[in-house]
Structures are given as C-alpha cells and as structure tokens.
Structure 1
C-alpha cells in the first residue's frame, strides 16, 4: 500500500479515519482522553472536560472520514493558559493510475484557478502546489472565518498517485496576525517533512487495538 510519513511534534494525535478503521478510531479516542484526563482525577471535575474532548475529537474525525481522508492529525498539547494550536491536518492518498494526467499540467490548472493564493513547490521528491482559501466557520459555531490550506503532492515515481494534505486554522478575524502566521508555519513545516513509503506488512485493525490495550494495561498495572 502506497502511503507517506510525516515528522510531527510531540503531543499531536494521529487518528485513522478510513471506513475499515472505525473500531480503531474509537479506541484511539478513548486512549487519548484517558491519557490526558486519567481516572485518578475527581470525577465531578474531569467529566465535563472528558465530554468536551470526546466531542472535539469525534467531530474532527467524522469530518475527516466524510472527506475520504485516511487520518487526521490534531495538536493536543496545551501551552500557556491552556492555549492549543487551533487547527487540524487531514491526510489523504489518491490513487488513480488509469489515464493519469501529467502532474505538472494538473498542478498548473489548479494554480491558475488559485491565482495569487497558489504556489508551486517540490515536496517528497515530487511536484506540488500549496493553495490557500478563506472559508466560513459556521460549521463549528464561530463567526470569524477559518483559513484552509491545501497541498497537492504528486508521487515522484508512480503515476496517478497523489497526497492531499489539508489543514484548517481557526482565526480571530485577523488574517494577517502573527499568531496565525506562526500556526501556518508550523503546519507547513510538518507537511514539508513528507516522505513516500510503500507499506508491505500493514498491521490489521485487531493487531493495532491489541497494542493499545497492552499499552493501557502497562500504564494501569501496579
């Protein structure tokens, strides 16, 4: 299976979102909540935060699944005063080997439509495009818009194989703020680490769930 790898900062959650990984997705969300809000915390104080985190993770992964993504990356580390990076990154691999268009021509068409909001790049050894757009945040109940950045990255050796990486960042309405620029730079840096790989012995969903259960048992055992 053709896939890609990224180098991500500590504290980022990688949650699978393919249809065949529904059980693993649920189990991964459970593990993330437990790691950040363990059972040792007072129930009355931790319960609302557990519910909030579960809703956030479930909504983000449901959106990714509906969009056909393989996985979603979510920064969960909290910084000063509980601030978290206000964005998420969707990871998708598109394989269309039949009558695959020339990647340079396809990217050229995408960039022509994007105008000044598009840039041509090279990532993972192949041609790529970075396209930005401002989108409404109504779906998450916010008035200020969000900034959406999409990367189209062609496999350098296999025709018709593309990586589509899309990150969306919530804003306060100021699309030129230093904070927004810093968050975008962080996501751009992660995307720039993309390396293509061909996974041969891919663990099954049951095997991955067993690994999570074993890790959980090791943490909770006396």
Structure 2
C-alpha cells in the first residue's frame, strides 16, 4: 500500500476514517477521551466535558469518512482560556498506479488555471503539487461566519497515477485577514510541508493496531 507520513506537533492526533478501520476509530476516540479526562476526575464535573469531546471527535471523523478520507488529523491541545486550534486536516490517498496516467504537471497546471490567484504551484515530498484556497460561506441556519478551506494536491514523484490530497478547514470569526487565521494556516501548512511518501509492505491488521493502542493506554 502506498502511503505518506507527516510530522505533527504535540497534542495533535491522527485518527483513521476508512470503512475497514471503524473499530479502531471508535477505540481511538475512547482512548483520547479517557486520556484527556481520566476516570479519576469527579464524575459530575467531567461527564459533560467527556460528552462534548466525544461528540466533537465523532463528528469530525464521521465527516472525514463521508468524504472518503483515509484519516483525519485534529489539534487537541488547549491553550490559554481553553482556546484550541479551530481546524482539522483530512488525508486522502488516490492510489491508481497507471503508467499511462496523465502528466501530473499538466493536471496541476489545469487546477491552478481554474483556481486563478487562489492557487500556488510548489513541490512536496519530491513531487509537483498545488495549493488552492477557497472561502466557504457560513451556514444560514447554523454558523454564519465563513471558513477557509485549503487543499493540497500532491503527485507521487515516482508512481504515475498516485496522488495525496490533503485538505484543512479553519473556522473564522469573519475576519479573513486576521493574524490568528494567518498563524493557524501557517501551522497547518508547516505540518503538510513535512509530507514524505512511504510504501507500507507489512501493514498491521486492525486487531493488531487495537492491541497496540490498548497496551499504550
């Protein structure tokens, strides 16, 4: 299996969201909730926060699964006054190796032409890539402030037809020029910039991964 690796800051978590990893996803969420809000805390005070954290993790991973993502990366570290990085990163690998696949530089060129000033050409993981930004309007019956969506299309440097798609979405307070939004985007861009391709030869089974997870809790 062709995959890639990212270096993440402390407090960020990687949760699988493929259909075959449903049990592992549930166990991972359980472990995260327990690690951040252990049973030693007073039940009456911790229970609402456990419920809220579980709901947030479940919603984020369900959304990633619906979008066909392989995994979701979430920053869970809380800073001053309980502030948490307001974003998430979806990870997808489009794995259809084909020697006759279109030239990746040509595909990236087409993406950038359509994106106009919102697109940028770059190199990631040794291959050509594109970074495209998009402002997503708020939900008229829910959140009214817009979100900023940034998508990376990264071609494998050696295997034609294999791409990485990384998309992060950052919630805003309506100010798309704020220093906070700029800093959050820089943080996600830095994580994406660590991308390195890897070939998974001996991939652990879901049961093996669950066993590793439970032994580390």
Q: CA RMSD in A?
A: 1.2
Q: Which segments of 5 or more consecutive residues in structure 2 lack a partner in the other structure? A: none
Q: Offset at 1:5? A: 0.3
Task: Determine if the alignment matches structure 1 residue 131 to structure 2 residue 132.
Answer: yes
TM-score by length of 1: 0.95
User: Could you report, residue by residue, the CA deviation over 1:100-138 in whole angstroms, capped at 9, with x for unpaired residues?
Assistant: 111011001100110000000000000000000001342
Aligned equivalents of 1:72, 1:164: Cα separation in 2? 12
Task: Determine if the alignment matches structure 1 residue 12 to structure 2 residue 12.
Answer: yes
Aligned equivalents of 1:168, 1:138: Cα separation in 2? 15
User: Could you report, residue by residue, the CA deviation over 1:140-191 in whole angstroms, capped at 9, with x for unpaired residues?
Assistant: 9311000000000000000000000000000000000000000000000000
- Relative to 1, partners in 2 of residues 1:56 and 1:188: Cα closer, same or farther, differing over 3 Å? same
Aligned structure 1 segments of 4 or more residues deviating by more than 6 angstroms: none
Task: Determine if the alignment matches structure 1 residue 79 to structure 2 residue 69.
Answer: no
Matches within 5 A, 1:140-155: 141-155=142-156
Task: Determine if the alignment matches structure 1 residue 193 to structure 2 residue 194.
Answer: yes
Matches within 5 A, 1:86-101: 86-98=86-98, 99-101=100-102
* Alignment partner, residue 34 of structure 1: 34
* Alignment partner, residue 60 of structure 2: 60
* Alignment partner, residue 165 of structure 1: 166
Q: State how many pairs are aligned.
A: 216
TM-score by length of 2: 0.97
Q: Which segments of 5 or more consecutive residues in structure 1 lack a partner in the other structure? A: 217-222
Q: Offset at 1:139? A: 9.3
